[in-house]
Amino acid sequence: MNHRTLGRTGIQVSPLCLGTMMFGAWGNTDYDECERIVGTALDAGVNFIDTADVYAFGESETILGKAIRGRRDEIVLATKFHNPMGDSPNRRGNSRRWIMQAVEDSLRRLDTDWIDLYQVHRPDPHTDIDETLGALSDLVHQGKVRAIGTSSFPAEEIVEAQWVSERRRRERFSTEQPSYSILARHAEAAVLPVAERYNLGVLVWSPLNGGWLTGKYRRDAPLPADSRAARNGDHFDFRAEEIRARKLDVVEKLAELAAEAGISMIHLALGFVLSHRAVTSAVIGPRTLEQLTGQLGADEVRLSPDLLDAIDALVPPGTNIGPGDVGYVPPALADPALRRR
């Protein structure tokens, strides 16, 4: 597997990044199979693994820590903080108080002395970005963290953080992790161009759009019994009739394009995001070993200009079919009081 440089860090990572959100109670509770997934990915050349403290509330990190035992040095290990990890209002967010506790918790669960990439899972409007960057800079200086990054940050907040780092002499964010797929192309409008301008490494989450781009959700076909959509229809648009209908229409046409190109729907979807000049790696999040094997090899797919043009015609650049696929709603859009005098 060819490797790519992660932004300006000099760290070499595989174009496919193994995401572990499905390890544990949120997906696969078979620890042995989770370990086999990790081992198979590593043996296939994947050296980049992404998790988060909130995934199954620490269980994912614990499983991963056991799975990488004895192979830690060959892995670029990424995790995240921000989301609530308990009832206390101070066990969440981007404050120095929480960051210093959260990193120790993650290090313990992952059974490691350092984290290669420590990411802010979402913006925190209640915390000054300088406060966050100051705490993260200290972790880099202490050797507990090698590089720092963000996830689902709007373009303007990425720019602000870069400015604060320079002005206040903080460590700079080196990566951004936005949602990005054929069905959710919002990042193309500003986030990806800004990331490219600042030479940020980009690892994109949900490149299969929550399973929509695997081909298992089709018009007039029942939901697979073991699918996430069957377990959580609201989250996967199955109760939002207009969004569901539009996605089903696009999926049918994408299936035709994939068949004409002689590739699977999964490889079409992953090949699409990896073809963007700003994208470093695509985060794949298999729940089973079978799902992993269906995604491996996608980094070798090269989509032709004609095929990319055909995808653009189905879903115009910079647009989303489902508004919820962005992953972060700014406070001013969520709270009417912030838009009124």
Residue 6 CA to residue 320 CA, distance in Å, equals: 26
Indicate which residue of 55, 118, 180, 217 is catalytic.
55
Please report how the helices 129-142 and 155-168 are oriented relative to each other, as an axis angle in degrees rounded to 10.
Answer: 60
Instruction: Identify which of 316, 325, 300 has the alpha carbon closest to the alpha carbon of residue 212.
Output: 325
Count of alpha carbons within 13 angstroms of residue 147, beta-carbon side: 20
Count of alpha carbons within 13 angstroms of residue 273, beta-carbon side: 36
Residue 69 CA to residue 66 CA, distance in Å, equals: 5
CB proximity list for 34: less than 8 A, separation 6 or greater: 20, 23, 24, 28, 63, 64, 67
Give catalytic status of residue 55 as yes or no.
yes
Instruction: Identify which of 275, 276, 271, 328 has the alpha carbon closest to the alpha carbon of residue 284.
Output: 271
Residue 206 CA to residue 76 CA, distance in Å, equals: 20
Instruction: Identify which of 197, 192, 232, 190 has the alpha carbon closest to the alpha carbon of residue 211.
Output: 232
Residue 92 CA to residue 71 CA, distance in Å, equals: 30
CB proximity list for 140: less than 8 A, separation 6 or greater: 146, 147, 148, 171
Number of neighbouring beta carbons within 10 Å of residue 277: 8
Tell me which DSSP letter residue 58 carries: G
Residue 248 CA to residue 241 CA, distance in Å, equals: 10
Please name the residue that has the structure tokens 């972060």.
328
Residues marked as catalytic = 55
